[in-house]
């Protein structure tokens, strides 16, 4: 029997780079307690456990869940993408709700299987897709929903960075599919959040860095929702001009009665016949967040709060497995489009 039913207890599966922010974001939200941590390199799990006061450490996820499942309310998977499907299936064995990092899986087929088996078992599967929870992106959504600029007909989304991302996440160099799975999972989801589902898609990719396996530049054009033309540009090409903007995403949206722009340093600009309104929409600041990732790390807490509410039966999660599967389909459709140099219709 659980000691305190008001606090949800969970296991952390994976104690790499992102766990250093995912775990304190849970503490920021409150109402949770990590009981155990797994990492294949046990010493890393031990370091994270000491840092965050996690009582038990394991080098085998099967052993962790076998011993701990009776005390757990959910598991939080923060491992590399190629492990996600197996760990979801392992949690499913004990009927434990799962929060899984994005990208959901290495293939569309595996992602579809993950969603299907969790649905069949009646076990919640949530994807930790935090990008749409960024404060400035939520502000954009509010303006669009207010109809202040009228019906949008064209938009551009830019996440173009000179930040040396391969220095603190060197494993990204080895991914055969890189920027569309890494950034595309975020930016294409943000496009869906703002403009609805696509009816067509066209993509081109490039590889600028010569010491990586995958693509580091991509442009995706989609027809979305009510006939909105949306172009999503993403790059980790290392252009020094773009370094200072990391990890901000910029937007320019044209509507029938005006335009909406999110520019550097979180400035939101609304222009209509009445004039131009300019205001800042910065993210909250947390002591545990890396200032270089400020807007991204702040959104982790907001995403966690939404998922915790769903786990407690208070409202619905936005980023369920079912919803995120629609984003996964866009990611892999983008690869198909780039490979075939063709428009994909949905």
264 burial type by CB count under 10 A (0-12 exposed, 13-18 middle, 19+ buried) = exposed
For residue 265, the model assigns a pLDDT of 95
User: What average pLDDT does the segment 319-343 reach?
Assistant: 98
Q: Judge whether 305 lies within some domain.
A: no
Average model confidence (pLDDT) across the chain = 95
228 and 120 assigned to the same domain: no
Does position 11 have pLDDT exceeding 90, yes or no? yes
DSSP state of 82: G
Q: What is the pTM of this model?
A: 0.93
**Which pLDDT band holds residue 2 (cuts at 50, 70, 90)?**
very low
β-pairing, 258-263 with 267-272? antiparallel
Structure tokens at 130: 């935090």
> 93 or 176: whose pLDDT is higher?
93
Lowest mean pLDDT among 3-7, 25-29, 161-165: 3-7
Q: How many domains does the chain contain in total?
A: 2
Please check whether residues 236 and 117 belong to one and the same domain: no
For residue 243, what pLDDT is reported? 67
Q: pLDDT per residue over 111-142, tens digit each?
A: 999 999 999 999 999 999 999 999 999 999 99
> Does residue 30 carry a pLDDT above 90?
yes
Same domain, yes or no, for 283 and 139? yes
pLDDT at 245 over 90: no
For every residue of 277-339, DSSP letters joined together read: EEEE-PPP--TTS-GGGHHHHHHHHHHHHHHHHHHTTSS--SSBHHHHHHHHHHHHHHHHHHH
Domain closes at, from 81, 109, 128: 128
Which range, of 2-11, 56-65, 303-312, averages the lowest pLDDT?
2-11
Please check whether residue 299 lies inside any domain of the structure.
no
What is the rounded CA–CA span in Å between residue 136 and residue 299? 10
Nearest to 249 by CA among 122, 160, 162: 160
pLDDT of res. 3: 45
Share of the chain residues as helix, strand and coil, in percent rounded to the nearest 5 = 45, 25, 30
Cα–Cα dist 198/225, whole Å: 6
Characterize the bridge pairing of strands 98-101 and 56-58. unpaired
Nearest to 139 by CA among 302, 319, 309: 302
Tell me: the pLDDT tens digits for 221-244? Answer: 999 988 999 999 999 988 776 667
Which domain CATH number covers 120? Answer: 3.40.50.720
Model pLDDT, residue 292: 86
Q: What is the mean pLDDT of residues 37-52?
A: 97
Question: What domain range includes position 163?
Answer: 131-294+318-345
What integer pLDDT is reported at residue 1 of this predicted model?
Answer: 30
Query: In the chain, pLDDT over 70 holds for what percent of residues?
Result: 97
- Is 47 in the same domain as 156? no
- Radius of gyration over alpha carbons of the chain, in Å? 20
Q: Which residues pair with 234 in a beta bridge?
A: 159, 218
Helix count and strand count (H, E) for the chain: 11, 15
């Amino acid at each position: 029997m659980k000691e305190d039913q008001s606090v949800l207890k969970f296991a952390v599966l994976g104690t790499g780079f992102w766990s250093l922010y995912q775990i304190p974001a849970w503490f920021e939200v409150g109402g949770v307690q990590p009981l155990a941590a797994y990492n294949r390199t046990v010493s890393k799990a031990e370091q994270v456990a000491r840092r965050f006061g996690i009582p038990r450490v394991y080098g085998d996820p099967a052993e962790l869940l076998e011993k701990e499942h009776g005390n757990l309310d959910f598991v939080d998977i923060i491992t590399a993408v190629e492990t996600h499907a197996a760990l979801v299936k392992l949690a499913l064995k004990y009927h434990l709700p799962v929060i899984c990092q994005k990208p959901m899986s290495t293939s569309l087929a595996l992602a579809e299987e993950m969603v299907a088996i969790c649905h069949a078992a009646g076990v919640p599967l949530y994807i930790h897709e935090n990008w749409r929870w960024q404060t400035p992106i939520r502000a954009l959504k509010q303006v669009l929903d207010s109809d202040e600029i009228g019906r949008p007909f064209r938009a551009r989304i830019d996440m173009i960075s000179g930040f040396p991302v391969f220095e603190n996440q060197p494993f990204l160099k080895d991914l055969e599919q890189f920027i569309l799975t890494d950034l595309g999972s975020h930016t294409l989801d943000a496009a869906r959040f703002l403009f609805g589902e696509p009816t067509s898609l066209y993509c081109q990719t490039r590889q600028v860095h010569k010491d990586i396996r995958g693509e580091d530049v991509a442009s995706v054009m989609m027809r979305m929702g009510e006939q909105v033309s949306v172009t999503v540009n993403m790059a980790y090409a290392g252009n020094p001009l773009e370094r200072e903007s990391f990890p901000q995403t910029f937007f320019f949206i044209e509507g029938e009665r005006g335009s909406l722009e999110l520019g550097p340093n979180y400035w939101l600009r609304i222009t209509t016949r009445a004039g131009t309104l300019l205001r800042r929409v910065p993210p909250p600041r947390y002591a545990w967040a890396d200032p270089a990732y400020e807007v991204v790390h702040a959104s982790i807490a907001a995403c966690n709060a939404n998922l915790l509410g769903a786990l407690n039966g208070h409202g619905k999660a936005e980023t369920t497995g079912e919803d995120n599967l629609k984003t996964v389909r866009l990611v892999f459709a983008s690869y198909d489009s780039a490979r075939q140099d063709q428009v994909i219709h949905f």
